[in-house]
Amino acid sequence: MRAVGLYEPSLLDPGQALVDLDVPVPEPRPRDLRVAVRAVSINPADIYMRKSFAPTQGQPQILGYDASGIVESVGSEVSLFNVGDEVFYAGDMTRPGSNSELQLVDERIVGLKPKTLSFTEAAAMPLTSITAWELLFDKLGVVFGSKTDPGVLLIINGAGGVGSMLTQLARQLTGLTVVATASRPESIGWCRQMGAHYVINHHEPLDHGLREIGIEQVNFVAGLTGSDRQMSAIATVIAPQGKFALIDDPKPFDISPLKLKSVSVHWELMFTRSMFQTADMIAQHRLLTSISDLVDLGILRTTLTNSIGPMSAATIARGHTLAETGRSIGKIVLGGFPTTS
């Protein structure tokens, strides 16, 4: 089958490292689905793995996490899905990725694709939806569906993939006042489209930006990028007994300024459940089922902003290059491999 991968980590031009491959068709384990991939999206995790994976001599690393597709076959113990089901998922860091014609994925981290979305639109959603949901409801402890919470959520980098989903979830499913950060006119406009009540500039002091909109302190902070650079500002604006959750990879940084306020700090990595086969791994299946239902009800929307063609080493490299600019809004998506005659 066709796939795209690389043999050695690459810090440089992805176009010089990613190659088109022909690899064997994988055989499902008992809880696996074998999915015919119809679309994938680009995530920071793809970039991270391209640069840092541990190579195996002579064996390619197939990247890719987000995917949508059709169940082509199932393992002997599968009970949640049937052949022919249209699905979407964010994959597992410990297994070959979605940049391939066929991919194996454990059914416990898969959801039925929203009926109202195309495969391309659906592929934009799984990783960011899971991350945003787990950050908001599991880590920050915000009550799902409660519209009576008077608190304030500050989202640092509201225009990225996770920020786009987190803004929607918080605005649609909680009573929080949602403040996103952005700096360019197009990213400010995107945050407002996603539902942010207010948008402030993260290149200026956060406390000043908040005071300008009449907010002195925030109860929750989502650090999606630059958490180490924003640490002093976060310590200033977060309320006593507030909660701070982050997803990025900051350099070592000092959280002791949060001690006097008894602020709790939480890491969010959506791959933890699949990586460690946790007892509650099936929670991601349920979560994606809820996301799919909310999309079909018109409550949530896809964050697809850029579709760059079918999969190949060249187009995936282009997606990596676009993502590495740090100026992308929403999600970059590619279709499946071109059909052959």
In this prediction, the residues of the chain whose per-residue pLDDT falls under 50 are: 341
Phi, psi of 191, deg, nearest 5: -60, -40
pLDDT tens-digit map of 158-178: 999 999 999 999 999 999 999
3-state secondary structure of 57: coil
- One domain, residues 233 and 177: yes
Domain limit, last residue, from 225, 242, 267? 267
Q: Is residue 177 part of a domain?
A: yes
- One domain, residues 139 and 262: yes
- One domain, residues 105 and 156: no
- Residue 90: which residues within 8 A CB-CB, separation 6 or more? 65, 66, 67, 109, 126, 127, 130, 270, 284
Q: Is residue 340 part of a domain?
A: no
CATH number, domain containing residue 227: 3.40.50.720
Number of domains in the chain: 2
- One domain, residues 210 and 307: no
Domain limit, last residue, from 221, 236, 267? 267
- One domain, residues 257 and 299: no
Question: Positive or negative, the Cα torsion across 64, 68, 71, 77?
Answer: positive
- Position 317 scores a pLDDT of 94
The boundaries of the domain holding residue 187 are 128-267
Whose CA is closest to 317, among 7, 2, 14?
14
- One domain, residues 196 and 114: no
- One domain, residues 172 and 286: no
Q: Is residue 273 part of a domain?
A: no
Q: Is residue 43 part of a domain?
A: yes
- One domain, residues 93 and 16: yes
- One domain, residues 157 and 242: yes
Instruction: Dump the DSSP string for 198-260.
Output: EEE-TTS-HHHHHHHTT---EEEEEE-S-TTTTHHHHHHHEEEEEEEEE-S-PPS---GGGTT
Q: Is residue 274 part of a domain?
A: no
Helices (H), the chain: 44-52, 119-123, 126-133, 161-173, 185-194, 206-212, 231-237, 272-276, 283-296, 313-324
Q: How far apart, in whole angstroms, are the C-alpha atoms of residue 112 and residue 85?
A: 7
Whose CA is closest to 5, among 93, 73, 128, 99?
99
- One domain, residues 139 and 121: no
pLDDT tens-digit map of 244-271: 999 998 888 888 999 999 999 999 999 9
Q: How far apart, in whole angstroms, are the C-alpha atoms of residue 105 and residue 274?
A: 10
Q: How far apart, in whole angstroms, are the C-alpha atoms of residue 68 and residue 257?
A: 43
Q: Is residue 86 part of a domain?
A: yes
**How many CB atoms sit inside 10 A of residue 106's CB?**
25
pLDDT tens-digit map of 28-40: 999 999 999 999 9
CATH number, domain containing residue 100: 3.90.180.10
- One domain, residues 135 and 214: yes
- Position 221 scores a pLDDT of 98
Q: Is residue 186 part of a domain?
A: yes
CB 156 within 8 A of CB 181: yes
- Position 299 scores a pLDDT of 97
Q: Is residue 296 part of a domain?
A: yes
- One domain, residues 192 and 62: no
- Residue 68: which residues within 8 A CB-CB, separation 6 or more? 37, 38, 39, 86, 87, 88, 89, 113, 119, 120, 122, 123, 126
Domain limit, last residue, from 218, 242, 267? 267
Whose CA is closest to 292, among 52, 81, 75, 13?
81
- Position 223 scores a pLDDT of 96
- Position 250 scores a pLDDT of 86
